[in-house]
Homo-oligomer: A and B are copies of this chain.
Amino acid sequence: MADGDGVRSVHRALDLLERFDDEHPSWTLAALTTASGLPKTTVLRLVTTLEQRGLVAAIGPGKYAIGPGFLRWSRLSSATMEIPPAVRAAMGRLAADTGETANLYIRVGRTRVCLAQAQGTLSIRHAIAVGSSMPLWSGAASKVLLTDPPVLSADPSVIEEIALEAPRPPGFAKRLRAAAVDADARGFAISHGERELGASGVAAPIRRPDGRVVAAIAIGGPTTRFSDDRLPAYINAVRRCAATINTTNWSGFSAS
């Protein structure tokens, strides 16, 4: 082991935990086994361990769901990464100016998590929940988050790993990297129907003074409203918002 990789058992346990999401709120042992590719003995051992700690809970014969153990940290984590009022204000202005919902994303491992949201004024909205995690291989915010130097330049394997999780034809890693390079050059990214048919988005990076991308600010809405004649204004609004947040010297958070 290269010793910088971390502890395998812990990684595996977290891999299992991460499979519990909105689409799959509960798993059977067999499903976890096939999905993870681990031997079922190993899955059982890890799940048992997690159950002892209350991180998963048995909700039926062989059925497991996320347990109550997370409550202990959920409050603490949201307290730790409180969003500065200035940032919230900037997001609110962005939502008001464009009418679309504004979201703040950060990268967490191979996914992105929505940290904060300012609802748009229009009735057809881009509805996602704060705290939900989404794939890093689709969406405007993803492209922007991938422009973080350590991801884009230093370690090529990261983008490849992310691309592997996408249900796309081989060679997708190249396209993903190209999209990130493009976003890096332009300073923003656009997506049309990548994550969901009919949904579009525009995103721009939030950077620390040292250049690292700590977050992405994005607006999202129906593709109809992200037409060529409106896009320039949207892009401008998002970039202005990003610039404002940058000047509030918010350190943000980076997960490795």
Contact surface of A with B, Cβ cutoff 8 Å: 3-4, 6-11, 13-14, 17-18, 20-22, 25, 45-46, 48-55, 57, 65-81, 106, 108-109, 111, 113, 115, 129-133, 253-256
Bound complex: CA of A75 vs CA of B129, how far in Å? 9
Beyond contacts A4-B48, A22-B76, A75-B129: 15 other A-B pairs, Cβ-Cβ < 8 A, are A7-B49, A10-B50, A14-B55, A51-B255, A52-B109, A52-B255, A52-B256, A54-B255, A57-B254, A66-B77, A68-B255, A70-B74, A70-B77, A71-B78, A71-B113
Question: Which B residue's beta carbon lies closest to that of A3?
Answer: B45
Contacts of A25 in B (CB 8 A): 76, 79-80
Q: Give CA–CA (A133, B133) in the complex, Å.
A: 25
- A129: chain B residues at CB < 8 Å are 75
Structural contact, A108 and B6, CB atoms closer than 8 A:
no
Complex copy number for this chain: 2
Closest chain B residue, CB of each to CB of A72: B133
Say yes or no: B81 contacts A77, CB within 8 Å.
Answer: no
Q: Which of A67, A77, A80 has the most CB of B within 10 A?
A: A77
Do residues B6 and A48 form an inter-chain contact, with CB atoms below 8 A? yes
**Given A57-B255, A81-B68, A73–B10 Cβ distance below 8 Å?**
no
Interchain nearest-CB distance for A145 vs B (Å)? 13
Which residues in B have their C-beta under 8 angstroms from that of A77?
A: 66-71, 74
Closest CB-CB distance, A77 to chain B, in whole Å? 4
| Cα–Cα, bound, A68→B83 (Å) | 12
Question: Within the complex, what minimum Cβ distance (angstroms) separates A37 from chain B?
Answer: 18
Nearest CB in chain B: distance from A20 CB, A:
6
Do the beta carbons of A75 and B11 come within 8 Å of each other? no
A71 neighbours in B (Cβ, 8 Å): 74, 77-78, 108, 113, 115, 131, 133
Shortest beta-carbon distance from A47 to chain B in Å: 10
Do A76 and B7 contact each other (CB < 8 Å), given the known contacts A71-B115, A115-B71, A255-B67? Answer: no
Chain B residues with CB under 8 Å of A18's CB are 72
Choose one: B3, B132, B254; the contact of A75 (CB below 8 Å): B132
Which B residues touch A81, using CB under 8 A? 68
Residues of the B chain whose Cβ atoms lie less than 8 Å from the Cβ of A46: 7, 10
